[in-house]
Structure 1
Amino acid sequence: MKVIAALHGPGPALLEPAFRAEVAATGATRLQVNVDDDEVAPAMRFGPGTPITAVVTAWTDRDPAPLLDVVRRHDPDVHAWSVDEREPLVPPAVADGARTDALANLAFLRRPAAMPHAAWLADWLDRHTQVAIDTQGTFGYVQNPVVAHLTDGGRDVAGIVEELFPMAAMADQHAFYGSGGDEEELQRRFTTLMDSCARFGAAEGLDLVPTSRYRFTL
């Protein structure tokens, strides 16, 4: 089971060995911590929800309740979900505990009320995926459809996507969209992506969180 938890308070302690030990004690085998920190301070962030400052992801074969108890010590109002995982673009491997050299954007998606869940999911996973990859400068793309809501908060979130961009993408639109300095191509990619996002409601009503990404084997 993959569990994703969004926190809304300070996140540096999540990178400390003590936190990893607590998570490991719950039976989790892997941990990922994404933090909105100084490294990504210039990046864009927005959303209708309470601002997210850190995201904890853990893989476990056990009841997630003890894991959530650990995370709640850092944020009592954490929002958490169990998710499926798809990796259309597998992120690069890095040394255990090292920061991935990337702007790791996390988007928390909400399904339009008028769109049936099955249709929304198919449109996101089957149609939009290639459009997103073709129109952006990403080198890592991970989709996480929500399977179950593990907390009362965050029940409006239907999916979570993580996209890895070059660090230059924080200030350079050509780096973000992979358009190689061609203004016409930049506009084409931007328009194509926005039109595709609008089809399944991702052009608005989502939370975008820029982060630094760390992974640990427990």
Structure 2
Amino acid sequence: MEKLICALWAPEGESRGDYAERLKSTLPAALKAAGAYGIRLNLRDATVEPASSLIQQWQERQQDAVVQFWLPTANAHFRGQIDAALADHSVRFEAWVVAESTIIPNKDHAPQAGSRTWGWSQASFISFRPDMSWDDAVAHWHHHHTRVAIDTQANFEYVQNIIVRALTPNAPDYDAFVEECFPLEAMTDAPVFFDAVGDEAKFSHNTKEMADSCAGFIDFSRIDIIPTSQFDYAHLDR
């Protein structure tokens, strides 16, 4: 089994809201028919527009949606129908094979079949610092930063995906994809995001700890961080 992360770009002139509705209506079924399972959409719809100040951008244009799913194999010989479904639903798509690690499973606000998951999802395509070896960057991420991200944020889901290889020739050279879910209020209220409501000292500590830890392994010139609404289609696997 292999997990794929795919970034999708909407056609020119189609709003992100309309694009999100179109993806929900037909993409999960198309991917399921092509052999995918564990399908999840991360969509930049109107609900997450208040989080626009949290966007960090490398790509121009930036991706409009993300789809995650599993396949028995991502080998190109057997991926034709998957690629066709993605091409039918985007003007451009890029895909990567990843190794998933679920740090915080969503037990408090579990996804409901085909519906929007409670809160919102921060979808982060990140690159490691060029002055660090891959091993050193991963060591910092796993042995230090993971604990910091748990302790300093109000995330109720936290999934790390190390990128194993790109599947498309023009895929941006990211090293990882991270999905973290937060309460809706965290889009505009930083103390909520950093789990420090009503505690200024904790807020100051948490923001500094998180910023320092991120700086320890992330290349901020090569990241795309987008707010999304999460839609889970695992029920299609039944």
TM over 0.5: yes
TM-score by length of 2: 0.86
TM-score by length of 1: 0.94
Larger displacement relative to structure 2 (177-186 or 62-71): 62-71
Secondary structure of 2:233's aligned partner: strand
Separation in 2, partners of 1:94, 1:106: 16
Post-superposition Cα deviations, 1:156-184, rounded to whole Å, max 9, x if no partner, equal 10100001010000111111000122112
**Alignment match, 1:161:** 178
**Alignment match, 2:16:** none
The 8 Å contact of residues 39 and 68 in structure 2, kept in 1 or not, is answered as yes
Separation in 2, partners of 1:69, 1:6: 14
The 8 Å contact of residues 130 and 219 in structure 2, kept in 1 or not, is answered as no
Matching of residue 83 in structure 1 with residue 92 in structure 2: no
The 8 Å contact of residues 194 and 203 in structure 1, kept in 2 or not, is answered as no
**Runs of 4+ deviating beyond 4 Å:** none
Decide which of 20, 23, 26 is 1:11's aligned counterpart.
20
Decide which of 18, 26, 30 is 1:22's aligned counterpart.
30
**Alignment match, 1:68:** 83
**Alignment match, 1:123:** 140
> What is the one-letter code of the residue matched to 1:35?
L
Q: Structure 1 residue 33: deviation in Å?
A: 0.5
Structure 2, gaps ≥5 residues long: 11-18
Aligned residues: 217
Structure 1, gaps ≥5 residues long: none
Post-superposition Cα deviations, 1:35-61, rounded to whole Å, max 9, x if no partner, equal 011000110212111312110111111
- Please provide the CA RMSD for this pair: 1.5
Secondary structure of 1:100's aligned partner: coil
**Alignment match, 2:42:** 34
Going by fraction, where is helix more abundant, 1 or 2?
A: 2
The 8 Å contact of residues 137 and 175 in structure 1, kept in 2 or not, is answered as yes
Q: Structure 1 residue 205: deviation in Å?
A: 3.0
Separation in 2, partners of 1:205, 1:33: 23
Secondary structure of 1:194's aligned partner: helix
Separation in 2, partners of 1:175, 1:39: 17
Q: Structure 1 residue 118: deviation in Å?
A: 1.5
**Alignment match, 1:56:** 67
Larger displacement relative to structure 2 (192-201 or 153-162): 153-162
Post-superposition Cα deviations, 1:88-109, rounded to whole Å, max 9, x if no partner, equal 1002322211111111001101
